[in-house]
Every structure is written in structure tokens, then in C-alpha cells.
Amino acid sequence: MFDQIVVFTVIIMILVLFIDGRVRYDFVSLGGLVVLSVTGVINSEESFSGFSHPAIITVAAVLVISSGLVKTGVIDKIVSALNRSSKSSAVVMTKLMMITALLSGFMNNIGALALVLPVGIKVAREHKFSPSRILMPLAFSSLLGGMTTEIGTPPNLIISSYRQDFGLEAFGFFDFTPVGLTVTILGIGLMVLLGGKLIPKRKTIGVEKLFNIGEFLSEVQVVDSSKLAGKPMMDLNIVYKLEIDVLSIIRNDQKIVAPGPDEILVPGDILIIKALSQDLADLIDKTNVLLRGTKKSLHIEESMIKSRDTALVEVVLRDDSPIIGRTTLETKLRNRYSINLVAVSRKGVYSVERLKSIRFRTGDILLIQAPTSILKDIYSNLGCLPLAERGVEIYPDRTKWKLYFTAGIFSFSVVLTTTGLLPVQTSFAFAATTLVLARILTPREFYEAIEWPSILMLGSLIPLGLALQSSGGADTIANILLGASALLSPTLMIGLLMVLTIVLANLISTSATAILMGPIALSIAMASGVSPDPYLMSVSVAASAAFLTPIGHQTNMLVMGPGGYKFTDYWHLGLPLTILIVTVGAPLILFVWPM
């Protein structure tokens, strides 16, 4: 009884902290594991057994393979093939949802969304409608597509492994496809038909608006009498204590983009600066520079603050970004990441002023000025996804043989898995390792592709699922649910389990939901003396149905800023989609996987 009390207490505390969000989910999970170990609910040998779980290896391998598919251009080929030009916005949006779901079935959900997100914004701009109309359906499509294969989403891998606890083989690669594909097709159809009516129309700045920064910048000229003449640019901050960002210097019709602090200023230099009005006044007063133009009286084109070597790009912050909750000054963006922060957009409202005091949040859109050569590293180190790269090529070494080799290795690993020659964790680990040995990916890119916070969370939570079983907690919850089975048909019982799973999935991560609900599904099957398959499949499908809140899955959070959505916007489309999944999914699961 003591063990059950501890397990339920830990679960409740983890749920509360997950929902609260002030402590990162990976450290919450690790803290729960430590409590279970200290109290003796799980022994020292079992404490970190989750990190050797097949699901952990498979998730890591899928992330690495996805990185290889992106780097070599395999994904670009698929996107360009399906995203042919069309005069109908509905047709274009349908294609984008289909390709997002297709990619999500074979790679990480966030990775699939990241590839299509810039295309979705571009489509919205070209067809002159708000990005809010397309971005939420794209996020939901990535969740739907993940339901279709064993590697589509971590919950599928977790549920597949739970089947082995019943003495059966793990689910096969395409065992999830009959139910997952049907639900995905119907879900996309619903979003096409009703999305425009149900999604709140939010006025968002759109990517192109962020480039209209000329009205917020100023142009000053260094003259002979200026105190800056012959001085390094660092004097602006060190000597004159000015909060001035110099984005570009125009010198003899040549531009120096993102000049360094040691750049010596000479008479005639024109500085393109970003500053508050008071700081601008202080600059003129203290240094005797000449004001040439400011705000709307000045037209500064994008080309004046970017070059071949320096790009101007928009990125959206992921929830695992190291700068979340910190300000520009605290993060030292210029010194640590070699970028200038030009503007920030949050839920459709953007600003270029007072940026030094803004605390970054998940989903914020940043307009940054950065060296082209290290863009890929910036995306990785900053924990962000590009919304528009304006023709910047961050993978210059793409060749056809690398493309075909990577696609072939991935296809070969899928064949090995589906034919049963190798388990999924072995075949995909083989593919990931081969990409490094063939020098498609460098060792550094191998490690950077793996989302270590997610790996830490999964490895810490898997023992919690085992503790829920061994302590009898799963049986306790199962017996409560079985009390309703006398009044409910098998279809309604499956539906009830799906509803409970969906509620949990929308409050915490989908992976954590699968880990907690999997043992309960097994206990219900054991107590009823029936096959565990329909119960496990119902948890698998429902755990990915996080459509009601932005915190249910990272994909929902990532589109919140670019789409200008509010927290309460998600249920407008998410609720009908959830009802569809439960009403169609429950009988379909029982048809494909009878008791």
C-alpha cells in the first residue's frame, strides 16, 4: 500500500509541475525518478533501466535519420513534388496537410512541421489570407500522421513495447497504419471542410511584415566634427554608455553588415541603427553625429542590413530553447550566438523597441541578423526553427549520391523492420550509424540531432510506468474502470479509455501519457481476460490526440506565435477533431483488433 501511495503522489506532483510549466519537463521527470528510487519503490538496478529501453534507442535513431533526410535534400524533393502550384488555396492547404502527415509518419513530428511551416506561411502570403488559417491544421496534421506507423511518434513505440509485457511480440511497423491512416484521412478532411469556419481568424504580422523594419530604424552619419570619427564602434557602449545596435555601415557605397566592435568609424560613414528615441537623442547629443532620417521618414530596404555573408532570418523559439525566460542582456545574444536581434513578434504583436528587457517565451518569433556560415549552428544552439531563410543555403554540400544513399538506407531499415528480420531499434540504429560512417552526417551532427531533453524525460518516466504496474497502482485504476464495464459495451469502454487518455495528453506530454496509461490498459485486459491489443491501440491513438491545448504537444506551441493564436483558440477545431477520433476510432480499433 505504501508503494502505491508514493507512486500516485509522484504522478500527481509530476502532472502538476508539467501543467505549471515553470520547471522543465525533463528535470521534473528525473526528479520523480529520484523520489521513487530514494523511497525504495524501485530498486537501484531498475532506477535507470529506462535509458536502455528499446523506445529510447529508436527515438534517438529516428531523430538522427530525420536529420540526414533533411540535410541531403530527400525531404525537399518530397515537399516540392507534392507542393505544386495551384490557384485554389484549399487545394494547396490540403496538399500541405497531407505532406505534413506523410512526413510525420516516418520522422519526428516537430521535424515534419518545421519543414512545412515556412511553406505554409508563404502560401498564406501568396493567397492573401491569415497564417492562422493554415498553421493550426498543419500542427494537427503532424500529430495525426504520427499515428500511422510504429516510429511516427514516441507513444507508438512505448505502447508497442508494453505489448511484450503481456507475453506477446511487439507491434509491427505498419500495425498502426489501418487505424492511424483512416483517422488521419478523416481528420484532414474535417479540417479542410470546417477549418476555415472553426479556426478564429487572427491578424498576424506575417513574415513579410517583419521585414518592414525601415520605419523603426534610424540613419545617422559620422561627420568630421563627430567624436566617433577615428574611434572603434565599441565606444558607443563603453565610453558613451549608449544602448545602440548598429546593423550596418554604409561606407563609400559599400556596406559592412553586422560590423564588429573593433570596426573603426571614419567621417562619411552612414550607420543604420536600431535604438529607442531617447537613446537616439543621446547619441546625437554626445557624439555630434548627423541625423539623416528616422522612423517613417526613412526608407531602409532589407538589402541594406543583409549581405552574402550575413542573413536576415525569422526563427520561432522551441520550448527547449536555452533563452526561454531570459532577456537579451542575460543571454548575451551578440557575444554568445553572434547575432543581432532586430525584432520580436509575440502572438501577432511585434516590436523592435525595448528588446533588451523582453523575456523570451516559447513560440516567440525573432527577426535576427546572423552570419550565413553558422546559421545551422545558430538554429541548433538557440533552440529555434527557421520560418524564412530568404534563399539562404545552409547545406551547400548536397549531392545526388548522398540523397539516394540516405533514402536507400532509410528504406532498407524500414524493410528490415517490417519483414521482422531485425527489431525496429536495431534496424534504425544501424541506419543512423551508417549515415555517420558514410560521412553523410558528422559525429557532431549525429549528437546535435538528438533531442536530449526528450530522451531524459522518456528514460526517467519509463521506470515510473513500471512502478505503476509493480506497486499495483495500475490494477487499482483498472478495477475502478472495470466497474463501469458492466454498464458499457466494449466500444463505449474503449471510448472511455480514449477520453481519459486524451484529457491527460492535453495537459502533459503525449509520451508521458502513453507511459502512464499503457500499464492501466494492460491491467484492464488482464482483469477482463481479453486481448490487450484494442486497449493498447486505443491508448496509442488517444495519446497523440493532443488537439485541445497548445501545451499538449510542442507542435501546437510552435505555431502559437506565427499564427497569433490564443490559448483558448485550439479547442474550436480541436474539439470536433477529438470527437471524430473517439467516435470513429473506438469501433474501428475493435474491428481491426477484436477482443
Query: Is the pLDDT confidence value at 111 over 60?
Result: yes
Domains present along the chain, CATH in parentheses: 2-206+448-592 (no CATH), 214-299 (3.30.70.1450), 307-388 (3.30.70.1450)
Q: Residue 87: exposed, middle, or buried by beta-carbon count in 10 A (0-12, 13-18, 19+)? A: exposed
Map grid coordinates 553588415 to a residue: 257
Residue 347, pLDDT score: 61
For the ranges 267-276, 425-434, 498-507, 573-582, the lowest mean pLDDT is seen at 267-276
C-alpha to C-alpha distance for 139 and 148, rounded to whole angstroms = 16
Measured between alpha carbons, how far apart are the two ends of the chain, in Å? 31
Q: Residues 217-235: pLDDT tens digits? A: 778 889 888 988 998 988 8
Query: Which DSSP letter does residue 309 get?
Result: S
Quickly state the pLDDT bin for 142 (edges 50, 70, 90): very high
Query: Is the pLDDT confidence value at 587 over 90?
Result: yes
User: Are 343 and 356 a contacting pair, CB within 8 Å?
Assistant: no
Quickly state the pLDDT bin for 499 (edges 50, 70, 90): very high
Query: Is the pLDDT confidence value at 210 over 50?
Result: no
Residue 295, pLDDT score: 46
Strand spans (E) along 72-228: 218-221
Quickly state the pLDDT bin for 301 (edges 50, 70, 90): low
What is the pairing mode between strands 349-351 and 310-317?
A: unpaired
Which among 390, 388, 341, 391 has a CA at the least distance from the CA of 366?
A: 341
143-181 as b/e, with b when 16 or more CB fall inside 10 Å?
bbbbbbbbbbbbbbbbbbbbbebeeeebbbbbbbbbbbb
C-alpha to C-alpha distance for 501 and 519, rounded to whole angstroms = 12
Phi and psi angles of residue 366, each rounded to the nearest 5 degrees, phi first? -110, 130
For the segment 415-423, the average pLDDT, to the nearest whole number, is 88
| Residue 154: HSE in the Cβ half-sphere, 13 Å Cα cutoff | 27
CA dist list (Å): 15 to 23, 507, 509: 12, 8, 10
User: Are 460 and 511 a contacting pair, CB within 8 Å?
Assistant: no
CA dist list (Å): 360 to 22, 321, 332, 441: 13, 9, 13, 31
Which among 534, 535, 556, 536 has a CA at the least distance from the CA of 545?
A: 556
- Mean residue pLDDT across the chain: 83
Which helix or strand (DSSP H or E) is residue 313 part of?
A: strand 310-317
Quickly state the pLDDT bin for 545 (edges 50, 70, 90): very high
For the ranges 102-106, 160-164, 378-382, 486-490, the lowest mean pLDDT is seen at 486-490
Query: Is the pLDDT confidence value at 308 over 50?
Result: yes
Quickly state the pLDDT bin for 465 (edges 50, 70, 90): confident
Q: Residues 338-360: pLDDT tens digits? A: 788 877 877 655 565 556 677 88
Helices within 259-332 (DSSP H only)? 277-287, 328-331
Query: Is the pLDDT confidence value at 312 over 70?
Result: yes
Specify the higher pLDDT residue, 87 or 503: 503
Task: Record the pTM.
Answer: 0.78
Q: Which three cell numbers stand for residue 550?
A: 497548445
